Amino acid sequence: MRIMVIGLGYVGLVAVAGLAKAGYQITGVDINIKKINSLNNGKIDIYEPGLKEVIDEARLNQRISFKNIAEIKNIDCGIVIICVGTPSRPDGAADLSQVEYTIEWIKERTINSLTIIMKSTVPPGTGELLYKKYLAGFSYKINYISNPEFLREGQALKDWFYPDRIVIGGNNNKAIEEVSALYDSLNARIVKLDITSAELIKYAANAFLATKISFINEIACLCDCLGADINSVATGIGLDNRIGEGFLKAGIGYGGSCFPKDVRALNFLSTINGHNFELLRATIIVNSRQRLLPVQKLRSYLGNLVNKNIAVLGLTFKPGTDDIRESPSLDIIRLLLDEGANVSIYDPIRKNLNINLFRKDQIRFGKNILDTVKGTEAVVVATEWDQFIDTNWSEIKIVMNEPFLIVDGRNCLDPCIINNCGFIYSGIGRAK
């Protein structure tokens, strides 16, 4: 069977790779000509472990082709998967313009009946609205299925091939079964339900995980007040099966292209539907506050930050990705610059910032960890890259200046090792 995947970002490319591996014939389509050219030259513009290998293998087996949207005159395949972006609008709502454009584009080119699978994250209720607005009564029968993704950046292939569950929402049983069959090779648990409930599962899952993070961050702040250790507390509560160990890592909060955007969109959706989702708003407030903590900790040890030299290790919103969207690290750097500090930065993947976030003369990119921390009074660890955890901290101490402060924004370092090297260690909610 031939399948078209529209939108070749993280989600689209992983879908292309996963379905091609399962033996389907895939056409990957994108509006970005540069992206298509580089994919056709064997290059992938995102960092996702293992993705290139799976795509290369599928290419070799002639299972995939990549095309610019303008090259497609007719759509003659039975399934089209939409994976375009749904960014935040200034008011927090999801911007659905790419999704609507894509549906109109599909309609104009359809020459047979087909099934549209929506993988883009759209607010609950959107599928039914889109169906009524564009698809109901159309000359070809078009089924609409909501099939949200739960892929984590950096582990997306693993999540594709070994999903906890697959959610398929639709109003036509035949189409639900057709989509369900795509995942036969995965032997996964499949939840079949209506479109709006499927859409809500995606938002509720992200909002719940984000809330779990903000909850543990509140407990971490309490640990700081009481002299308790958040890592031990998190282990102790996570061992209760009803709570679970995942997403209990305290620190400077969640970032990335999903949690912040989806939590805001769910909050917006609740408000316009007359529900005051107080818990979700608290999640957002706590998350914004966590990003301020490293700067507050620096101030409490260094006093005024004017002309203080501070290294920030880590730019990406988490390890294993090159993605810096809504990364807490960026806010920390911004705050440090506002306070007049001199900031040096190092990230194992992001060697520079191609975006105009900061003036070039305000920051310095180090060549490696040692070069970055040289001459600084304090280091903030903003992303828990292995490279930072495994570094030789005694060597770091030699090139730094007093008071040799390490602010561990991800609680990823061993306080004993850091203290034994002669540093002051300050984590988020960790006993000294």
Q: Quick check: helix, strand or coil at residue 68?
A: strand
CB 84 within 8 A of CB 7: yes
Q: Which of 306, 290, 259 is nearest to 407 (CA)?
A: 290
Determine which helix (DSSP H) or strand (DSSP E) holds 103, and give its type and residue range: helix 97-109
* The only residue of 17, 55, 94, 213 in contact with ligand UGA, by rule CB under 6 A: 213
The reply to whether 124 sits near ligand UGA by the rule CB under 6 A is: no
Pick the stretch among 128-136, 145-153, 273-281, 388-396 that binds ligand UGA (CB under 6 A): 145-153
Q: How far is the CB of 410 from ligand UGA (least distance, A)?
A: 7
The answer to whether the Cα torsion of 124, 128, 133, 134 is positive or negative is: positive
DSSP letters for 150-183: -PPTTSHHHHHHS-S-EEEEES-HHHHHHHHHHT
Site mask, ligand UGA, residues 35-74, x = CB under 6 A?
Answer: ----------------------------------------
152 is an interface residue for ligand UGA by CB under 6 A: yes
Give the DSSP H/E element, type plus range, for residue 393: helix 393-399
Q: Does 251 bind ligand UGA (CB under 6 A)?
A: yes
Catalytic residue among 77, 258, 412, 421: 258
Site membership for ligand UGA, residue 160 (CB under 6 A): no
Per-residue burial over 207-218, b = 16 or more CB atoms within 10 Å of its CB, e = otherwise? bebbbbbbbbbb
Binding of ligand UGA by 249 (CB under 6 A): yes
Report the residue number, 286 or 396, with the smaller CB distance to ligand UGA: 286
Is 331 annotated in a binding site? The answer is: no
The stretch among 64-72, 245-253, 331-339, 420-428 that binds ligand UGA (CB under 6 A) is 245-253
Tell me whether the omega of the peptide bond preceding residue 87 falls within 30 degrees of 0, making it cis. no
258 has catalytic annotation: yes
Contact between 151 and ligand UGA (CB under 6 A)? yes
Answer for the pair 324, 316: CB distance below 8 angstroms, yes or no. Answer: yes
Q: Which of 21, 35, 297, 318 binds ligand UGA (CB under 6 A)?
A: 318
DSSP-derived letter for residue 185 is G
- The reply on whether position 203 binds ligand UGA by CB under 6 A is no
Would you tell me which residues interact with ligand UGA (CB under 6 A)?
Answer: 121, 149-153, 206, 209, 213, 247-249, 251, 253-256, 258-259, 262, 317-318
